[in-house]
Amino acid sequence: MKEKIFAFIKKKNGHISFVELQNEFPEIKGNEHFGQESFNLLFWPNVTMEFIETINTLINPNRG
């Protein structure tokens, strides 16, 4: 899934919303919440851990 998400984001020149990602990849729907708990900040609810890890890799390329 990681490669598919990366390719989709690249196709959109990096300008993409979580809504677009969820519409394109309904399989990212899960029970986890993507955010920054230490700041009490929620970016997107009800996603899979695989999706969270993929987005974290995009944000910080040293992670994966």
pLDDT tens digits in sequence order for the chain, 64 residues long: 889 999 999 999 989 999 999 999 999 999 999 999 899 999 999 999 999 999 998 888 675 5
Within 13 A of 42's CA, how many CA atoms are on the CB side? 6
**Residue keyed to tokens 């959109």:** 12
Joined tokens for residue 16: 């993409």
| Contact status, residue 14 vs residue 8, Cβ threshold 8 Å | no
What per-residue confidence (pLDDT) applies to 40?
Answer: 94
Please state, in angstroms and rounded to a whole number, the distance separating the CA atoms of residues 52 and 31: 11
User: What are the sequence ranges of the domains in the chain?
Assistant: 2-63
What per-residue confidence (pLDDT) applies to 64?
Answer: 54
What per-residue confidence (pLDDT) applies to 13?
Answer: 94
